[in-house]
Amino acid sequence: MLSIAEKKKSLRRDILQQRLRLPFEEVFKLSSIIQKKFLELNELKDVRRLALYASFKNEVLADTILEYATSHGKEVFFPRVVRGKKGLIFLKVHGKKDLAPGSYEIEEPSHDRGETAPVPSFDMIIVPGVAFDTNGNRLGYGKGYYDKALENAREGCLIAALAFDFQILDRIPAEAHDVKMAKIVTESRVLNIERGE
- In the chain, the number of structural domains is 1
* Residue 194 banded pLDDT, cuts 50, 70, 90: low
pLDDT at 16 (0 to 100): 94
Q: What is the pLDDT of residue 102?
A: 81
Instruction: Give 63-78 pLDDT, tens digit per residue.
Output: 999 999 999 999 999 9
Q: Is 124 in contact with 52 (CB distance < 8 Å)?
A: no
- Domain with 34 in it: 4-195
- Residue 114 belongs to domain with CATH number: 3.40.50.10420
* CA 170 – CA 165 distance, rounded (Å): 12
The per-residue pLDDT for range 29-63, each reduced to its tens digit, is 999 999 999 999 999 999 999 999 999 999 999 99
The predicted structure's pLDDT at residue 142: 80
Burial of 196 (0-12, 13-18, 19+ CB in 10 A): exposed
Q: pLDDT (tens digit, 9 = 90+) per residue, 1-21?
A: 778 888 888 999 999 999 999
